[in-house]
Amino acid sequence: MPSLGERAAFDEAVAIYMRKVADCRRRRLRADLLLILACLMLASSGLLPPLLRLAVLPLTFGVAWAGIHMGERAAKARARLRW
């Protein structure tokens, strides 16, 4: 039977691990939302005049790149978590 000190330390370790897992999930969700935003921007750029469409494309690329980068960082952070 574990002592109260050991049980408290174990509970604290579980709480820290669960916070890190939740943080990875939030990062992944943000990355997915950025990619969805980039798709919506690209789809709606067809409604814009040609000059504005050319201005929106680099912005869309930047949003998509940020989403991919955040997703990769979230995946790496999740892979580093060891129990």
pLDDT at 72: 92
Q: How many CB atoms sit inside 10 A of residue 23's CB? A: 14
pLDDT at 83: 61
pLDDT at 4: 79
Residue 76, domain extent: 4-80
Total domains in the chain come to 1
pLDDT at 5: 79
Q: Note the pLDDT tens digit of each residue in 10-54.
A: 999 899 999 999 999 999 999 999 999 999 999 998 898 988 988
> What are the structure tokens assigned to 5, written together?
């000190």
At residue 81, φ and ψ (nearest 5 deg) are -70, 125
Amino acid identity for residue 45 in this structure: S
pLDDT at 39: 92
CA distance 83 to 76: 15
CA distance 46 to 32: 22
Q: What average pLDDT score do residues 59-68 get?
A: 92
